[in-house]
């Protein structure tokens, strides 16, 4: 026996969850995984323990995702006192987790691996659909646009946002005390068969940042803002001058770099 | 004004429905569409009227789909006393239908067009997944297989089933009085990235027939039946000798030919 550090890759449909982070009495992805792992290592956990200073199992993700946001490959780590193999842990988790959360991979890693501190980049994808008929089967994974948007204008606006900037205007947490400077090195916007895919890559993102970026770009796409408004919005460092926060359902964390 | 005949193409996620066919007090796809159309033409329908001899709106599909079965392009027709254009009808329907039903196309057609009598062929797809980790996002549209199956053996078995046969052994309705002879001209089974796709094309299918065919082929895939058992199963004309009925969630009506 003895403590081993495991890296987990996790795919989830965030629709019915209050987000990644565990909260007393709420359905969260972290909460579901921690409860299953606690049972796996022989504990009979009660929810309250997980919110003390010394939780029985602590699953640390690359970052929180908001309520309703999805992930194809969230990465987390957990230090576990177990003799089970990585594959056995994966199978145990998938047996007991609800079918909207899947642990796609488990690997034993160095004690030093920390899913949040060691993350050096993240890719998010935001999906919209425009057209007269809303697709049915993936309806929980895109945001519907009532009228067509100008992708070229949005891409032009995006160029102003790429780079190292103070993204305070794009931060959903008005009480944020720490630095709001972030590096976004790619924003790519593609239209295909009625869908519009926004891909963001950066070293890290502030709370709601991708959704506010999308909401602002969609204002440009609809002609209510212009690409050349972007520098002024960054400059203002004021959430109120950026566009609205796009709905959670269109957002998916697709990759975390280490 | 005056009665016009409209052809509807309909996409639906059948998960929460008791199937296509309207039933008093139940959620069905036909029921939802008929209620919206009735309101569209100015009626204030109560559910009971739809089950009398002279329903206010009668939406006739190419065929019923069972509870939980999906459709990418079900075809139906409805005779409506309206001045609205086909596009206006489509948009009205999509505005008031729930988001798991979409009318993808509406077209005014000849009075003689009848979605059931004029259908000359149908394509169904059945989707399975095999692998240690169940995919999350499309989880309502495939059936999970606990262990790998032999696709070559299933394809061999399928060859015995292609053609004109009495499919009584594959009919879910034991009280079926009419002919159970049908022509299935294609059964194709493909494996791709953990998924197994069964595609069936035929002139028509009996109740549960595709699901019983899949359930039987999966018995072959698992080694519990052999391809050469197929002729005997057809011969027996007895539901009990075929395999189990595969779950509804994996089945989707993808095309109707006219």
User: B172 CA to chain A: closest CA distance, Å?
Assistant: 27
The alpha carbon of A163 is separated from its chain's Cα centroid by a whole number of angstroms, namely 20
Closest to B115 measured CA to CA, from B229, B238, B20: B20
The alpha carbon of A19 is separated from its chain's Cα centroid by a whole number of angstroms, namely 9
DSSP string over A190-213? EEETTEEEEEEEES---TTHHHHH
**B32-83 pLDDT tens trace:** 999 999 999 988 767 667 777 677 899 999 999 999 999 999 999 999 999 9
ipTM, two decimals, is 0.91
Residue B84 tokens read as 């609205």
pLDDT of residue A167: 97
**Full-model pTM:** 0.93
Closest to A137 measured CA to CA, from B177, B127, B121: B127
pLDDT of residue A48: 67
Is the sign of the CA dihedral A23, A199, A137, A134 positive or negative?
positive
Is B4's pLDDT higher than 90? yes
Are B129 and B137 contacting, i.e. CB atoms less than 8 angstroms apart?
A: no
pLDDT of residue B175: 85
Rg (CA), chain A: 20
Residues in chain A where the model's pLDDT stays below 70: 1, 45, 47-48, 53
Residue B253 tokens read as 């009506």
Is B170's pLDDT higher than 80? yes
Contact across the interface for A91 and B132, Cβ inside 8 Å = yes
pLDDT of residue B174: 83
Q: Work out the average pLDDT over B162-170.
A: 97
Contacts of B77 (CB under 8 A, 6+ apart): B5, B6, B7, B8, B59, B60, B109, B113, B114, B115
Residue A129 tokens read as 């659909």
* CA–CA separation, B41 and B1 (whole Å): 11
pLDDT of residue B47: 67
The DSSP element (H or E) to which B210 belongs, if any, is: helix B209-221
The DSSP element (H or E) to which B33 belongs, if any, is: helix B29-40
* CA–CA separation, A140 and A69 (whole Å): 10
Contact across the interface for A136 and B13, Cβ inside 8 Å = yes
Are A215 and A244 contacting, i.e. CB atoms less than 8 angstroms apart?
A: yes
Contact across the interface for B94 and A13, Cβ inside 8 Å = no
If you ran DSSP here, which 8-state letter would residue B224 be given?
A: S
| Cβ neighbours of B138 in A, within 8 Å | 137
**B102-119 pLDDT tens trace:** 999 999 999 999 999 999
Tell me how far CA of residue B5 lies from CA of A132, B14, B148, B149, B255, in angstroms. 22, 26, 48, 46, 21
* CA–CA separation, A147 and A132 (whole Å): 9
Catalytic residues of B: 66
User: B98 CA to chain A: closest CA distance, Å?
Assistant: 10
Of A101, A138, A139, the CB nearest to B136: A101
**A27-72 pLDDT tens trace:** 999 999 999 999 999 887 676 677 776 778 999 999 999 999 999 9
Give me the percent of chain B exceeding a pLDDT of 90: 89
Angle between helices B209-221 and B151-161 (to 10 degrees): 140
pLDDT of residue B1: 54
Contact across the interface for A136 and B91, Cβ inside 8 Å = no
Q: Count Cβ–Cβ pairs < 8 Å, chain A vs chain B.
A: 58
User: B13 CA to chain A: closest CA distance, Å?
Assistant: 6
pLDDT of residue A234: 98
DSSP string over chain A? --EEEEEEEEEE-GGGSS-SS--TTS--HHHHHHHHHHHHTT----GGGGGSSS-SS-EEESS---TT-EEEEEEEEEEEE----HHHHHHHHHHHS-TTEEEEEEEEE-TT--TTTT--EEEEEEEEEESSS--STTTTS-EEESS---HHHHHHHHHHHSEEEE-GGG-S-TT--S--EEEEEEEEEEEETTEEEEEEEES---TTHHHHHHHHHHHHHTTSS-GGGHHHHHHHT-GGGS-PPPPGGGEEEEEEE-
Is B169's pLDDT higher than 60? yes
* CA–CA separation, B73 and B55 (whole Å): 24
Q: What are phi and psi of B172, to 5 degrees?
A: -80, -10
| Cβ neighbours of B91 in A, within 8 Å | 132
* CA–CA separation, A115 and B197 (whole Å): 37
Q: Is A185 an active-site residue?
A: no
DSSP-derived 3-state class of residue B233: helix
pLDDT of residue A1: 54
Are A171 and A180 contacting, i.e. CB atoms less than 8 angstroms apart?
A: yes
| Cβ neighbours of A250 in B, within 8 Å | none
Residue A208 tokens read as 């709601």
Cβ neighbours of A75 (radius 10 Å): 25
Contacts of B51 (CB under 8 A, 6+ apart): B22, B24
Rg (CA), chain B: 20
pLDDT of residue B177: 86
Contact across the interface for A133 and B90, Cβ inside 8 Å = yes
């Amino acid at each position: 026996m003895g403590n081993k550090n495991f890296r987990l890759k996790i795919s989830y449909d965030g629709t019915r969850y209050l987000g990644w982070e565990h909260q007393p009495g709420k359905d969260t992805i972290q909460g579901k995984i921690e409860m299953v792992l606690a049972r796996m290592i022989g504990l009979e956990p009660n929810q309250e323990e997980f919110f003390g200073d010394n939780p029985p199992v602590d699953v640390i993700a690359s970052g929180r995702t908001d309520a309703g946001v999805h992930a194809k490959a969230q990465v987390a780590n957990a230090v576990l006192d177990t003799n089970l193999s990585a594959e056995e842990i994966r199978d145990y988790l998938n047996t007991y987790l609800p079918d909207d959360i899947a642990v796609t991979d488990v690997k034993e890693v160095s004690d030093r691996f920390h899913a949040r501190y060691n993350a050096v980049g993240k890719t998010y994808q935001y999906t919209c659909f425009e057209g007269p008929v809303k697709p049915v089967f993936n309806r929980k994974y895109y945001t519907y646009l009532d009228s067509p948007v100008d992708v070229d204008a949005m891409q032009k606006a995006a160029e102003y946002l790429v780079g190292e900037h103070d993204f305070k205007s794009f931060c959903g947490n008005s009480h944020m005390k720490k630095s709001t400077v972030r590096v976004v090195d790619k924003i790519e916007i593609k239209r295909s068969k009625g869908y519009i895919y926004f891909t963001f890559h950066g070293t890290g993102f502030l709370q709601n940042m991708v959704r506010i970026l999308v909401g602002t770009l969609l204002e440009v796409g609809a002609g209510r803002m212009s690409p050349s408004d972007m520098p002024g919005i960054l400059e203002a460092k004021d959430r109120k001058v950026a566009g609205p926060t796009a709905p959670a359902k269109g957002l998916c964390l697709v990759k975390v770099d280490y």
